[in-house]
A and B are shown apart, each in its own frame.
Chain A
Amino acid sequence: MRWVFVPLGMLFGFLLSRAGATTYDYYAKLFLFEDFQLLWVILTAAAVGMVGIALVARLRTRALLGGGIDLRKKPYTRSLIVGSLIFGIGWGLAGACPGTALAMLGEGKLGAAFSIAGLLCGTYLFGRRAGAQPTDISRVDR
């Protein structure tokens, strides 16, 4: 089943690119309040997802490729706000997010390679410092 995520990732990367999320300028313009392309992309995606996930939850079905459907919500933690602010600073500085940096690399935007190296470094530093995660993928069922 894991291999299906290669074409899925490919589709996701393609859509990120078409939506403008791999274009550095849109990040600068967003945070300078000059062009809200990416804000509308995010809000539309979340709104469509809201309807779609509600429908999927209603179906009470198993995943089409097998297994349960994960509808768990990420919990609030004490570090959520500070972590989100740190993330946002990196987001604005790199002009990319963890997903789009990968798609940018595929487009030949080589600056993203440094951001990706940083993402690995930041994740590694966190993991070195943090203890073991709770067994249930650090989320709670609700």
Chain B
Amino acid sequence: MTEVVVIDAWLGGLAIGLYGVAQLLLTGKQLGVSSGYGSICALGSRADYFRSGSHAVRNDWRLYFLLGIPLGGLLAALTSEGPIVASLSLGPLYDRVFPQALWAKAALLFAGGTAMGYGSRLAGGCTSGHVITGVALLNWPSMVAGGCFFLGGIAAVQLLFRALG
């Protein structure tokens, strides 16, 4: 697995916070990721949901934003010391509790992704839109959402590591 450089939390948070403000000032758009997955779905679906509201405009900015993020991950890996290693490893902790069989591992990760995709649409945003942007806007529903994100995460991980660890 690629080992990337990790900086102090306060510095990372400062940089991400400033990024969000800069994006807003530059483009007028709030930082948020999850609705971008809807923009991808809109490319191949005729459902009304993907033809209205935030997806009324085809090929919107979110698609381009989502295209850039993996490039940023690649850049971060290239500028870290070790080699880039393509790997299915989930790191020492998750590897200890996740099944070894590829299909079972893939199924769990897929289930996690599905829960995030469905849940974020029900909730109206994800970690970036609700927690970082929403809390920064002093928006109380976003604070409620953020608290529930953490409750769900704690429940899932505690269960995973206690049942299988």
Interface residues of A (CB under 8 A from B): 1-25, 27-32, 36-50, 52-53, 55-56, 61-77, 79-99, 101-112, 114-128, 130-139
Contact = CB atoms under 8 A, between A and B. Distances in A.
11 contacts: A2-B59, A23-B6, A28-B93, A69-B25, A81-B144, A84-B122, A84-B130, A90-B112, A91-B152, A114-B110, A132-B51
Contact of A132 (B53, B67, B113, B158): B53
A125 to B, nearest CB: 6
Interface of B: 1-2, 4-7, 9-10, 12-21, 23-31, 33-34, 36-38, 40-41, 45, 47-56, 59-77, 84-94, 105-106, 108-142, 144-158, 160-161
A125 B118 contact: yes
B71 A13 contact: yes
A73 to B, nearest CB: 4
Contact of B94 (A3, A28, A49, A114): A28
Secondary structure class of chain B's binding surface, majority of residues: helix
B45 to A, nearest CB: 6
B70 A13 contact: yes
Contact of B91 (A25, A40, A66, A82): A25
A119 B21 CA distance: 26
Contact of A73 (B41, B118, B134, B160): B134
A139 B156 CA distance: 29
Nearest to A13: B72
Given A19-B12, A130-B49, A46 B152 contact: no
Contacts of B86: 108, 110
